[in-house]
Amino acid sequence: MNHEPLLLATPSGDALNLRPEGPWTAANVVTLETLSRSVGADVDRSRVVTLDMSGVSALDTLGAWVLEKLSRRAATSGRSAEFVGVADHFSGLLDEVRQVNRHTPAPTAAPNPVLARLGDLGKSTADAREDVTIFLQMLGALFMAVIGVLRRPRSLRLTSLVYQLYRIGWQAIPIVALITFLIGAIIAQQGFFHFRRFGAESYTVDMVGILVLRELGVLIVAIMVAGRSGSAYTAELGSMKMREEIDALSTMGLDPVEILILPRVAALVIALPILTFIGSVAALYGGGLVAQFYGDMGPAIYIARLHEAISVTHFEVGILKAPFMALVIGIVACSEGLRVKGSAESLGRQTTTSVVKSIFLVIVLDGLFAIFFASIGM
Amino acid sequence: MDVSQDEFAIRVRDLVVGFGRQTVLDHLSLDVRRGEILGLVGASGGGKSVLMRTIIGLIPRQGGTIEVMGQPTGGHGRGAATTWGILFQQGALFSSLAVRQNVQFPLRENLVLSQELMDEIAIAKLEMVGLRAQDADKYPAELSGGMTKRVALARALALDPPILFLDEPTSGLDPIAAGDFDALITTLQKTLGLTVFMVTHDLASLTTVCDRVAALADGKIVAIGPMRELLQSEHPWVRAYFHGKRSQMLQHEMR
């Protein structure tokens, strides 16, 4: 028995007799490709090619196709090729293979790179416009849902709202407090380290207080919530979309915005200011600890300096931004979730998009607020 | 080679599978002959899919032996794709790969061959399962249910495995598509000499395609044989299955 496939070529004048032997199967594909290449020139020279199949011990689709390809190569431009000595149990497979790969689709021409680049640019511009439209649509739908709830307070999904508050508010407290605590401590350390050179250490407290209350507290918390809860919203709504749950809701005459999205966004709008407050306190506490152990400033002095340096205005500026940031995060997360299409890949892509987009918008919004508060003198 | 190895593609002996305290398969024995199409029927949630998944090594067994092509199975190492092809119920196509790459995947992972030959083989397989070359560049999300099953079948057959497992191949297909699929499986089984293990609820498939039918009830194979014999079976569950209103109607219409 042969364990290696062979291909014997016996030319006689114009004719060529090819005799494949042994197992012509996928396991020997390397040998098969070499063999079929090696007889290629002979096949092109001959007018009549006979493939004597009687020596083949095993045949599968791959082997049959390699042979069929040889016979097709031989049968071009008025020349001929035929299979002889085909065993009964191989004939079905050979017949099957003879039918395939007859209509190779014309290869699509590679697009002009300049045009392709321009096309991409145009497409992303159109996409950006669509993003704005979707954002505004979602804002409008939420507004209508709020009006609906105000008209019929019983239609508020209280259970869902409380559950979402627990998930994105209560359960987020430890990590939010830890991170803002560390950020506060790091800022205070940097302040003491650099201000010490001009003997302005006591101003570190002003810096920590203003920075944390006005900007950093809310920004860090919003970014963390976008990563933690925004992505969860997108993934949840996306998989509901994939499993047609949202379609099921709509066909029952219920509004998915009111049932699924409003409680989620409302929970964010309520939770983010609270988390910001907790985060700011944790950051000030972190700063205080550094002041005591690194800056040689006791708690009493730290608190007294803090009292002088900051006012309620600073706190208001920070906390006022929180609900708006929550709204942006919620809307982006939910609308990206609804844009998920059938595949798992699309779910992953939308979740990434949701997080990137909401962090970007949170920072842009923070910039706009900075201009706004500066111009009204807060 | 001894005789038993020649005759049977799959031999299951005293198989016990359970989850927690619940025993799903209770000392089950089953032989699948080489080159036959065996249909497996059973109640929903009765362990049909569990049996199939245990044979292919996705579910650990608590007792018993399973031999596939004369070799005892133990997990699924590399090269499993050359032993068997599996058509999962939902197709289980890789969603990030185009149809062509899905079919090429087993070839690419198991063999060393040129891209040209790989493309030709993929198209050949797709055409054998009744798709067109133009479909090769679509992604799984763009396919209809019937096409998904066909692509999944093409992928399962990519390496010409001797055994093919089908998990409810016709579920979710319209009767015409289901009929086509049955015919396709019969044709492929004849041309490639496959052994087919098919879990199905489709009575039409059972009657037209399967050489033998095995009935799974209470964790055991309670009846096995050609459809004619199963219709004569005295086992209460088998009687209820094949002589219920729906089944009777179908059988009458077939006569």
> CA of A69 to nearest chain B CA: how many angstroms apart?
10
- When divided into structural domains, chain A yields a total of 2
Asked if the structure places residue A338 within a domain, the reply is yes
Distance from B90 to chain A by nearest Cα, in Å?
13
Among B101, B93, B186, smallest CA distance to B136 is for: B101
A vs B, Cβ pairs < 8 A, gives 74
Q: Is residue A110 part of a domain?
A: no
A38 reaches B (C-beta below 8 A):
no
Residues A153 and A93 reside in one and the same domain? no
Same domain, A220 and A144: yes
At which of A49, A71, A99 does a domain end?
A99
Q: Are B23 and B15 in contact (CB under 8 A)?
A: no
Tens digit of pLDDT for each residue in B67-95?
887 777 765 555 566 778 888 888 788 87
Q: Which residues in chain A touch residue B160, judged by CB atoms under 8 angstroms apart?
A: 25-26, 60-62
**Winning range, highest mean pLDDT, from A30-44, A83-97, A258-272, B118-132:** A258-272
My answer on whether A144 and A243 are in the same domain is: yes
The count of other CB atoms within 10 Å of the CB of residue A22 is: 19
Q: How does pLDDT run across A350-371, given as a tens digit for each residue?
A: 999 999 999 999 999 999 999 9
**CA nearest B154 in A: which residue?**
A61
Angle between helices A344-375 and A217-225 (to 10 degrees): 160
Q: In chain A, count of helices (H) and strands (E)?
A: 16, 5
Instruction: Round to whole Å and give the CA distance between B158 and B160.
Output: 6
> Is residue A281 within 8 angstroms of chain B, CB to CB?
no
Whether B124 sits inside 8 A of A103 (CB atoms) is no
Does residue A125 have a pLDDT over 90? yes
Taking the Cβ of residue A58 and every Cβ of chain B, the question of whether any pair is shorter than 8 Å is answered with no
Compute the distance between CA of residue A86 and CA of residue A73 in angstroms, rounded to an integer.
19
Whether residue A344 is found in the same domain as residue A254: yes
Whether B249 has its CB under 8 Å from any CB of chain A: the answer is: no
Interface-testing mutation among B118, B160, B184, B190, with chain A (most A C-beta atoms within 10 A)? B160
CA-nearest residue of chain A to B192?
A93
Lowest-confidence region among A2-16, A338-352, B113-127: A2-16
Residue A242 lies in a domain: yes
- Altogether, the residues listed in chain A come to a count of 378
Quickly count: other Cβ atoms within 10 Å of residue A237's Cβ.
27
Kind of pairing between the strands at B22-33 and B37-42? unpaired
Query: Which strand (E) or helix (H) includes residue A73?
Result: helix A61-74
A213 and A336 belong to one structural domain: yes
Q: Which of A188-197, A211-220, A292-301, B131-140 has the lowest mean pLDDT?
A: B131-140
Q: Which residues of B touch A26 (CB under 8 A)?
A: 82, 107, 110-111, 159-160
> B141 and B95 in contact (C-beta within 8 Å)?
yes
Of all residues in chain B, the one with the smallest CA distance to A62 is B121
Are residues A203 and A68 located together in one domain of the fold?
no
Residues of chain A with Cβ-Cβ distance to B191 below 8 Å are 92-93, 95-96
Residues A93, A193, single domain; the answer is no
Position with higher pLDDT, A148 vs B76: A148
Identify whether A171 is part of a domain. Answer: yes
Nearest to A96 by CA among B180, B16, B188: B188
Of residues A316 and A53, more confidently modeled:
A316
In this complex, is the C-beta atom of A69 within 8 Å of any C-beta atom belonging to chain B? yes
Q: Is residue A48 predicted with pLDDT exceeding 90?
A: no
Are the beta carbons of B191 and A93 separated by less than 8 Å? yes
Using the Cβ of A40 and the Cβ atoms of chain B, whether some distance falls under 8 Å is answered with no
Q: Which of A95, A101, A345 sits opposite B96 (nearest CB)?
A: A345
Question: What six digits make up the tokens of A169?
Answer: 């508010």
Any chain B CB within 8 A of the CB of A234? Answer: no
Q: Does A89 touch chain B (CB under 8 A)?
A: yes
Residue B5 has pLDDT above 60, yes or no: no
pLDDT interval class at B249 (50, 70, 90):
low
Give yes or no: residues A219 and A342 share one domain.
yes
Q: Is B95 on the interface with A (CB under 8 A)?
A: yes
How far is the C-alpha of B165 from the C-alpha of B41, rounded, in Å?
Answer: 14
- Choose the closest CB to B133 out of A25, A92, A103: A103
**Domain end position, chosen among A73, A99, A125:** A99
Residue A96 has pLDDT above 80, yes or no: no
Cβ atoms of A233 and A168 closer than 8 Å: no
- Residue A21's pLDDT is 82
| Contact (CB<8Å) B159/A26 | yes
Query: Are A270 and A182 within one domain?
Result: yes
CATH number at residue A64: 3.30.750.24
pLDDT band at B224 (very low <50, low <70, confident <90, very high): confident
Does residue A287 contact residue A294 with C-beta atoms inside 8 Å?
Answer: no
Over 90: is that where the pLDDT of A118 sits?
yes
Average pLDDT, chain A: 88
Query: Does the residue A69 lie in any domain?
Result: yes
Does any CB of chain B come closer than 8 Å to the CB of residue A105? yes
Confidence of residue B138 (pLDDT cuts 50, 70, 90): confident
Residue type, A145: A
Domains and CATH numbers, chain B: 3-254 (3.40.50.300)
CB contact under 8 A, B123 and A100: yes
Top mean pLDDT of A327-341, B118-132, B147-161, B203-217 is at A327-341
Q: Give this complex's ipTM.
A: 0.72
Q: Which two tokens stand for residue B127?
A: 């055409």
Three-state SS string over A314-330 comes to: HHHHHHHHHHHHHHHHH
- Measuring CA to CA, which residue among A257, A250, A241 is closest to residue A351? A241
Contact A27 B125 (CB under 8 A): no
Q: State how far residue B133 is from chain A, nearest Cα, in angstroms.
A: 7
Residue A126 lies in a domain: no
Query: A300 and A213, same structural domain?
Result: yes
Domain boundary among A99, A115, A148: A99
As a whole number of angstroms, the distance between CA B109 and CA A135 comes to 44
CB of B139 less than 8 A from some CB of A: yes
pLDDT at site A377: 85
Whether residue A116 is contained in a domain is answered as: no
A156 lies in which domain range? 140-375
Whether residues A349 and A247 share a domain: the answer is: yes
Query: In chain B, which residues have their Cβ closer than 8 Å to the Cβ of A241?
Result: none
Whether residue A151 sits in one domain with residue A85: no
Say if residue A271's pLDDT is above 80: yes
Mutate to test the interface with B, among A100, A102, A243, A341 (most CBs of B within 10 A): A100
The answer to whether residue A213 is domain-embedded is yes
d(CA B30, CA B15): 9
